């Protein structure tokens, strides 16, 4: 929905507040409006329930020299008004999902998030970011953040999680500011692809939106609403002068949204760039000792600053999902260690792996961005093979320079799957052997699609629902080599070598295991000859 409005010289984005009934959407928007000093308009409500939307219009902060105008809209939560909810969600540049932290509300959150995923997946263009505003955190029986993140994992939804108490304003500003960041990341992608339209927005006011929604709906729905007891609110002057609270909020927006760099996302030749001097200010703010450290850059053993969600727009890929990853890791402590090759590595909550090669550090921001662009293209080329939960980022290292990082979700590998299976009976071991072997061989066959050589081991391959994927780290730009093609025999020999750790257990259960492998082969009648040969080799492991 984002556009560049030439008459006002601003970029217009839409922030849509979604959620189950009574989760706190209207309260959140109302509290936000008070903080902004701007009026909220609701065209109709029924016993306090939103029937169309709540509307808040706010302009603050800068993006590429233009003002940022936010159309902030909440959706009706009632199931009977689902078509209205969908229409508003389809127009979003970012979605703030207001979650209900009560045990009963948590179950409704799951259903509504599942539906939200379906709607957003149907929208074209760059991804639409989601911020889960975990509301009602003041409840004594509020569900834990671990449960909330577990639900997101089950739904396979990438979302930032920010706690809130909408009634007293806790977390409302933080949620909104981060949502605007995600929306602007999407705007940059639209700019890069040439899909960002320069035109006055078709929906320029709450009245415009109401008219559009009413014209799109059936008369039956309108009559049902008109027959109810509706309470109309007064349309406030959306252009009123900002209050002192609004001025303070605008300063926060200026600091948090309008980065000092504003480089073009994965820019093409001729796109706007930013000097290292401009970017150094952000590095100095991130670390009070940055200026002093930058005077002496010869000590390579200094621990660099880890990347966080405040990294300048255009220096993280993928632009929306990547910033959501940075937000998640930013709430946890990370301990970085330097390996024998000089690379920096760390893990976060046993969920994420951070890695930066020894030479992935740059004095010049433009040189670092060039490497980022090259690496991003490499990731895109191998996207069908790579695990999805990963990102790359160029961030100030707290020492006056910039370091290129890759962040990869830690997922169960074939190595882990096989180790766990060895604790079970013969039937479990046999099934695991075939699953592991097939997944390993499938990735080996697809290795040329990665467009660069990747390390093929049981530890770098996983068996996902969508098929076998590569879980390992991508080689840094300075170490990229052409992709290797694996023949069936070469890949089979490597697999057997990788399974050497399992031989003692396989030999100990040889009798039962061979029988179970024979059952697997009988169920696989018509299987390709190379799979039959592989099965024979796996059986031979138990005899060696």
Residue 298: pLDDT over 60: no
The gap between the terminal CA atoms of the chain, to the nearest Å, is: 64
Q: Give mean pLDDT, residues 508-531.
A: 69
Residues 283 and 428 in one domain: no
| Mean pLDDT, residues 339-366 taken together | 93
DSSP per-residue string spanning 293-334: HHT----TTSPPPPP-TTSPTTSEESHHHHHHHHHHHHTS--
CA dihedral 75, 76, 82, 85 (to 10 degrees): -10
Task: Please indicate whether residue 181 or residue 274 has the higher confidence score (pLDDT).
Answer: 181
Instruction: Indicate whether 330 and 222 sit together in one domain.
Output: no
Nearest CA-CA partner of 52 in 93, 97, 84: 84
193 lies in the same domain as 45: yes
Above 50 in pLDDT, residue 427?
A: yes
Query: 99 in a domain, yes or no?
Result: yes
Is residue 429 situated within a structural domain? yes
pLDDT at position 275 is 30
510 Cβ partners below 8 Å, 6+ apart?
Answer: 542, 543
List pLDDT tens digits, range 93-136: 999 999 999 999 999 999 999 999 999 988 888 999 999 999 99
Give the range of the structural domain holding residue 361, as residue numbers without chain letter.
Answer: 276-409
DSSP secondary structure, 166-226, as one string: TTTTBTHHHHHHHHHHHHHHHHHHHHHTT--EES--S--SHHHHHHHHHHHS-HHHHHHHH
CA angle 485, 384, 455 (to 5 degrees): 45
Residue 371 and residue 331 share a domain = yes
**pLDDT digit string (tens) for 206-238?**
888 888 888 887 544 443 333 333 333 333 333
Which range is least confidently modeled, 42-46, 194-198, 269-273, 524-528? 269-273
Structural domain contains residue 402: yes
Whether 212 maps to a domain, the answer reads yes
Q: Are residues 29 and 10 in the same domain?
A: yes
Mark whether 142 and 34 lie in a shared domain. Answer: yes
Question: Comparing C-alpha atoms, which of 353, 378, 336 is closest to residue 476?
Answer: 378
State the Cα–Cα distance between residues 380 and 18, nearest whole angstrom. 31
Length of the chain: 544
Number of domains in the chain: 3
Q: Is residue 254 part of a domain?
A: no
Q: Which two tokens stand for residue 455?
A: 């390390």
Whether 300 is covered by a domain: the verdict is: yes
């Amino acid at each position: 929905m984002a556009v560049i409005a030439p008459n006002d010289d601003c970029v217009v984005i839409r922030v849509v507040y979604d959620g189950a009934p009574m989760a706190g959407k209207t309260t959140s928007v109302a509290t936000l409006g008070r903080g902004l000093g701007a009026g909220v308009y609701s065209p109709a409500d029924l016993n306090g329930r939103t029937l169309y939307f709540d509307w808040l219009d706010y302009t603050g902060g800068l993006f590429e020299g233009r003002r940022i105008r936010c159309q902030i809209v909440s959706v009706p939560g009632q199931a009977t008004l689902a078509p209205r909810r969908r229409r508003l969600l389809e127009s979003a540049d970012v979605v703030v999902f207001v979650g209900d932290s009560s045990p009963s509300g948590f179950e409704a959150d799951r259903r509504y998030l599942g539906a939200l995923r379906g709607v957003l997946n149907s929208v074209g263009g760059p991804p639409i970011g989601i911020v889960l505003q975990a509301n009602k955190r003041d409840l004594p029986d509020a569900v834990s953040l671990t449960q909330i993140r577990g639900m997101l994992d089950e739904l396979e939804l990438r979302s930032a999680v920010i706690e809130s108490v909408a009634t007293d304003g806790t977390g409302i500003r933080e949620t909104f500011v981060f949502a605007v960041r995600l929306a602007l990341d999407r705007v940059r992608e639209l700019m890069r692809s040439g899909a960002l339209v320069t035109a006055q927005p078709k929906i320029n006011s709450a009245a415009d939106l109401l008219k559009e929604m009413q014209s799109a709906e059936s008369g039956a729905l309108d009559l049902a609403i008109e027959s109810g007891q509706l309470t109309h609110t007064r349309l406030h002057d959306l252009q009123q002068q900002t209050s002192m609270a609004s001025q303070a909020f605008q300063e926060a927006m200026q600091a948090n949204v309008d980065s000092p760099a504003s480089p073009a996302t994965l820019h093409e030749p001729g796109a706007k760039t930013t000097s290292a001097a401009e970017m150094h200010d952000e590095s100095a703010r991130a670390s009070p000792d940055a200026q002093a450290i930058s005077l002496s850059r010869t000590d390579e053993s200094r621990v660099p600053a880890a990347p966080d969600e405040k990294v300048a727009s255009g220096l993280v890929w993928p632009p929306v999902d990547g910033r959501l990853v940075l937000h998640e890791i930013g709430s946890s402590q990370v301990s970085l260690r330097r390996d024998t090759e000089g690379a920096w590595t760390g893990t976060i909550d046993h969920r994420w792996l951070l890695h930066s090669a020894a030479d992935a550090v740059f004095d010049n921001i433009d040189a670092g961005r060039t490497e980022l662009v090259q690496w991003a293209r490499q990731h895109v080329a191998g996207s069908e093979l790579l695990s999805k939960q990963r990102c790359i980022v160029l961030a100030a290292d707290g020492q006056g320079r910039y370091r290129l990082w890759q962040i990869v979700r830690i997922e169960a590998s074939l190595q882990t799957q096989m180790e766990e299976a060895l604790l079970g009976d013969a039937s479990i071991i046999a099934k695991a052997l075939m699953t592991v072997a097939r997944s390993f061989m499938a990735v080996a066959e697809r290795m040329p699609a990665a467009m660069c050589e990747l390390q093929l081991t049981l530890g770098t391959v996983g068996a996902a629902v969508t098929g076998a994927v590569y879980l390992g780290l991508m080689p840094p730009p300075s170490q990229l080599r052409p992709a290797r093609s694996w023949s069936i025999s070469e890949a089979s020999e490597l697999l057997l070598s990788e399974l050497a750790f399992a031989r003692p257990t396989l030999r100990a259960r040889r009798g039962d295991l061979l029988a179970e492998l024979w059952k697997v082969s009988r169920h696989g009648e018509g299987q390709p000859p190379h799979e039959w040969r592989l099965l024979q080799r796996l059986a031979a492991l138990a005899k060696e």
